[in-house]
Amino acid sequence: MSRIRPYRPADRAALYEICVKTADAGVDATGVLSDDALWGDLFAVPYAERHPDLSWVVESDDGRTIGYIVATDDTDAFYTWFREEWWPTRQERYPRPAEVVTREDRMVDYGYSRAPGIEPNAADHPAHLHIDLLPETQGQGLGRALIETLFAELTRRGIRGLHLGIDPNNAGAAAFYERLGMTRLPAEPGGQTYGVRFDA
């Protein structure tokens, strides 16, 4: 049986692998970008580096890491750290594009544009998360268990609420979050955002 446990530094490589294998609206994005690590450098590993206390993984019965949830309890503080400490270590690998034309350009530019105050939902929903599960884990209730583990910790900390963005093409993710009682929040054109309050 698979189990949920706290993140460990030894899981770092698995976070990169799981992130790319689920990054294209839930399916494998290997080879979509010129550097597969960009997905993990934006959406997984910095959270585990900054907040190992808000990161959990799914471990298979044979010891593999096959899913994760990573989060921050303060989006603006996280983006300050991301901008000042994390992304500068990646800028040589990912130069800022002169023009934002391709999907890869948009993603690299996303890295450069993270800053406190950029997310309008952060005031009422200061936490945010990223969750990814390999196909072999899905349909076993592990996604819900990961979410409930995180929500319990955020509630214990007195965090007001949480938001998350999804790819609008990922209908399965939208249905999953709605089943968990999350509601739609304002989003940028082309985006889709959900939120939940813990103090209601």
Q: Domain holding 156: CATH number?
A: 3.40.630.30
Per-residue pLDDT, 200:
66
- What's the number of domains the chain is made of? 1
Per-residue pLDDT, 20:
98
Structure token pair of residue 193: 């955002």
Q: 192: Cβ–Cβ under 8 A, 6 or more apart, which residues?
A: 165, 166, 167, 168, 174, 184
- Give the pTM: 0.95
Question: How far is residue 61 from each of residues 64, 150, 200, measured CA to CA in Å?
Answer: 7, 22, 38
Domain that holds residue 138: 3-197
Per-residue model confidence as pLDDT tens for the chain (200 residues): 899 999 999 999 999 999 999 998 889 999 999 999 999 999 999 999 999 999 999 999 999 999 999 999 999 999 999 999 999 999 999 999 999 999 999 999 999 999 999 999 999 999 999 999 998 887 889 999 999 999 999 999 999 999 999 988 888 889 999 999 999 999 988 889 999 999 86
